Amino acid sequence: MAGLLKDSLSRKIILDDHFSFYAPDYIGTELLKHRTYLMKKAKLSGPDFTLLLHILLSRVTLVPFKDFEPDFHRAMQIMKPIDEKDAPFLAVGLSLGLDAIWTEDRHFLLQDVLKVYTTSDLIEYI
């Protein structure tokens, strides 16, 4: 969501060709569900928000649940004591064989399955 709210380092990272991003496909639905709030927070008109959302999501491969379902149970076991709402993100990483995840959620450091990169880690590569 950070890339939607302001012209930030997060947006620069998402738009940079050095990186590939993957996320559970429901994030598109979630972003649209909170559209009004996000537009207000970002001070964007409806058409500008839609365009920016389209641009940012075009840089993220949205992974359907059926594709990461085999790893979801393991991810849930790992993330349940930490924050089970983030299990789908870990499951996507596991199912795709990724070695790292990009997040500012420090609680992800409590799992040891995927390396965690923060925005400041990734900005060094741009």
Print pLDDT tens along the chain (126 aa): 667 776 689 999 999 999 999 999 999 889 989 999 999 988 999 999 999 999 999 999 999 999 999 999 999 999 999 999 999 999 999 999 999 999 999 999 999 999 999 999 999 988
CATH (domain of 103): 3.40.50.1010
pLDDT of residue 7: 67
| Number of domains, the chain | 1
* C-beta separation of 57 from 42 below 8 A: no
DSSP tag of 104: S
The tokens for 94 are 């596991």
Nearest to 64 by CA among 30, 94, 88, 84: 88
pLDDT at position 1 is 62
Buried b (16+ CB within 10 A) or exposed e, 60-71: bebbeeebbeeb
φ, ψ of residue 62 in degrees (nearest 5): -90, 120
Q: Which structural domain, as residue segments, surrounds residue 86?
A: 2-123
